[in-house]
Chains A and B, each alone.
Chain A
Amino acid sequence: MSAKKPKKIILKVDNITVQRPFGGPILENISFDVYEGEFLSIVGASGGGKSTLLRSLAGLFPPVSGKIYFRDEEMRAPRVEVGLVYQSYALFPWRTALENVEFGLELRNIPRVKRRQVAVEALELMGLSEDKDKFPIELSGGMQQRVAIAREIVNKPKVLMLDEGFSALDVQTCRQTEEQLLHLQAKFKMTIILVTHMLEQALALSDRVIVISDGEIKETLELDGGKRPRDIDQPEFRKLLRSTEALIRPTPKIETFVRDLAGV
């Protein structure tokens, strides 16, 4: 009997505290590991620090203390291996879908013919070959998101992070994009980190779910393997959903205030 292969850490978050330039901490003493090839979701109420955490992982918002490592290297700046898809998709409005996807390759001086070919293939993969010459404003929210994902995958990131990537999509587009994301993860063997306030989605897609509330990790849920997305109508799934929902609710501010006063 062969021993189970240990999971390789791709991102290590080591006791980080992230603070506003002129304010208190947004995240305090956060530590966790992200494993190669896993689908990790970070959930929590709005304003709980999820997006800030993602920006820190992307190297855009450095922690005031603690460290973040990509493999064994400390992350001090953004790197191409760690891609981020923004909530607003952040497509360059003056570039067509194709030109947006080409952007990262252009930065690395990949010859025009080669980068065009790679970008066209990525758009085909995302089902957007017909729309490659459209500007972002001419695309629907779902299409914009797929362009933003294509823009990242042409750079072959090891970790793809999505910040509330599904919040602006209708249910049907959301389901299609979820399937597409799982397909991409399998195809490119990527690690995916999804930040979302949609707990049901996180539980349906992920290997692990980290619950963040009031700037702290409240819980880390290890979910079983099997087919994903999970069947959200199963009684076990509903039960898990209800118990996790309670963890997400932010502490009422008055309660925090009284606790602070009492020094608890």
Chain B
Amino acid sequence: MVMRRYQRLLLNIFSVVSVVLLWHYLSANNLISPLFLPPPERLVETFVEMALSGELFLDIGMSTVRILIGFIVAFLVAVPLGLLAGSNDIIRNLLKPWVQLLQPIPGVAWVPFAFLLFGLSNSAAVFIIGIAAFFPVFINVMTGVQTLDRDLINVAKTLGANKLQMITKVILPGVVPDLIAGSRVGIGLAWRAVVAAEMIGLPQGIGSVLIDAENTAQTDVMVVCMITLSVLMMIFEKMIFESLEKRVERWKGIDEE
């Protein structure tokens, strides 16, 4: 069944509203303990309180800044290395064993090591985020270069492209879809890693609020933080990737939903 855009939107809204209503009904009739799940209206109150006190934004801001810096560092290292490894057999095979060894280690597993190396500091956060985001970006860029149509490179050569032009006008634009896919996964992993690091010991940040709320049995604060985190990740994705993806979808001939 082909659905129109507004029909899909109506279904989305219906789904959310009906779950919230059910949740409200269960809470209002004491069928579910507020200790496990506070009523939705309580969450709205908590959100407003935390927002007005500035506490929420301060922690969100801290996590976001850590993510941004860590991701930019990872991106700046992963993209050139991915380009090099994708286009040069020797470099690829020199890096291969390290990638295979280090890539499966989850970002969270780097937390103790980072704390040992940098202490409970923002440098530790940048290190953890950098490691988590590096591999998906690097691997995607490398694969993108390897699978790029050789004829496109040859056309550029016959039209007179020098090495720099080859990278900036052929290879980089050619790997944009892979770069977007890698960055998407990278940012997702970076968020998971930074929240875990903040929960384990980093001062401030949304993860530290979450763990404080758990210690003081403030379920409403916990849920508000989780929902805020999810919304934040969605905004991040939309801001960074949506416009880029729109153009890629058009040249790849992917129909918009």
Q: Do A and B bind each other?
A: yes
Q: Which residues of A contact B (CB under 8 A)?
A: 55, 58-60, 77-80, 82-84, 86, 88, 90, 92-95, 103-104, 106-108, 135-138, 151, 155
Q: Is the CB of A137 within 8 A of B253?
A: yes
Q: Which residue of B lies closest to A104 (CB)?
A: B159
Residues of B contacting A94 with CB < 8 Å?
Answer: 173-174, 176, 247-248, 251
Which one of B10-18, B40-48, B113-121, B146-154 is at the interface? B146-154
Chain B 203-253 interface residues, beta-carbon cutoff 8 Å to A: 247-248, 250-253
Residues of A contacting B154 with CB < 8 Å?
Answer: 55, 58, 60, 78, 84, 86, 90
Most chain A beta carbons < 10 A, residue from B157, B158, B162, B174: B158
16 contacts between A and B (CB under 8 A): A55-B154, A60-B158, A79-B160, A80-B160, A83-B158, A86-B151, A90-B151, A90-B154, A92-B170, A92-B174, A94-B251, A95-B251, A107-B159, A135-B253, A151-B155, A155-B160
Determine chain B's interface SS by DSSP, over half rule. helix
Q: Is the CB of B158 within 8 A of A84?
A: yes
Q: Is the CB of B155 within 8 A of A93?
A: no
C-alpha gap A259/B189 in the complex (Å): 63
Q: Is the CB of B158 within 8 A of A78?
A: yes
C-alpha gap A244/B99 in the complex (Å): 57
Q: Is the CB of B160 within 8 A of A90?
A: no
Residues of A contacting B165 with CB < 8 Å?
Answer: 107
Q: Which residue of A lies closest to B177 (CB)?
A: A94
Q: Is the CB of A86 within 8 A of B155?
A: yes
Q: Which residue of B lies closest to A87 (CB)?
A: B151
Q: Is the CB of A93 within 8 A of B158?
A: no
Most chain A beta carbons < 10 A, residue from B151, B155, B157, B174: B155
Residues of A contacting B247 with CB < 8 Å?
Answer: 94
- How close is B249's CB to chain A, nearest CB, in angstroms? 10
Contact size class for B?
A: 20 to 34
Residues of A contacting B152 with CB < 8 Å?
Answer: 90, 92
Residues of B contacting A104 with CB < 8 Å?
Answer: 159-160
Known: A86-B151, A106-B169. A80 touches B176 (CB 8 A): no
Determine chain A's interface SS by DSSP, over half rule. loop
- How close is A21's CB to chain B, nearest CB, in angstroms? 12
Most chain A beta carbons < 10 A, residue from B156, B159, B160, B173: B159
Known: A90-B149, A94-B176. A103 touches B250 (CB 8 A): no
Q: Which residue of B lies closest to A82 (CB)?
A: B158
C-alpha gap A162/B152 in the complex (Å): 15
Residues of A contacting B174 with CB < 8 Å?
Answer: 92, 94
Most chain A beta carbons < 10 A, residue from B149, B160, B248: B160
Starting from the known contacts A88-B149, A107-B165, 16 additional A-B residue pairs (CB-CB under 8 Å) come to A55-B154, A78-B154, A78-B158, A84-B155, A84-B158, A90-B152, A93-B251, A94-B173, A94-B248, A95-B251, A103-B159, A104-B160, A107-B160, A107-B161, A136-B251, A155-B160
- How close is B34's CB to chain A, nearest CB, in angstroms? 53
Residues of A contacting B155 with CB < 8 Å?
Answer: 84, 86, 90, 92, 151
Residues of A contacting B158 with CB < 8 Å?
Answer: 58-60, 78-80, 82-84
C-alpha gap A186/B126 in the complex (Å): 63
- How close is B189's CB to chain A, nearest CB, in angstroms? 27
Q: Is the CB of B159 within 8 A of A137?
A: no
C-alpha gap A60/B156 in the complex (Å): 11
Residues of A contacting B170 with CB < 8 Å?
Answer: 92
Q: Which residue of A lies closest to B174 (CB)?
A: A94
- How close is A97's CB to chain B, nearest CB, in angstroms? 12
Residues of A contacting B149 with CB < 8 Å?
Answer: 88, 90
Q: Which residue of B lies closest to A90 (CB)?
A: B151
Residues of B contacting A55 with CB < 8 Å?
Answer: 154
Q: Which residue of A lies closest to B173 (CB)?
A: A94
Q: Is the CB of B252 within 8 A of A137?
A: yes
C-alpha gap A94/B250 in the complex (Å): 9
Residues of A contacting B160 with CB < 8 Å?
Answer: 78-80, 104, 107-108, 155
Known: A80-B159, A90-B149, A90-B152. A137 touches B169 (CB 8 A): no
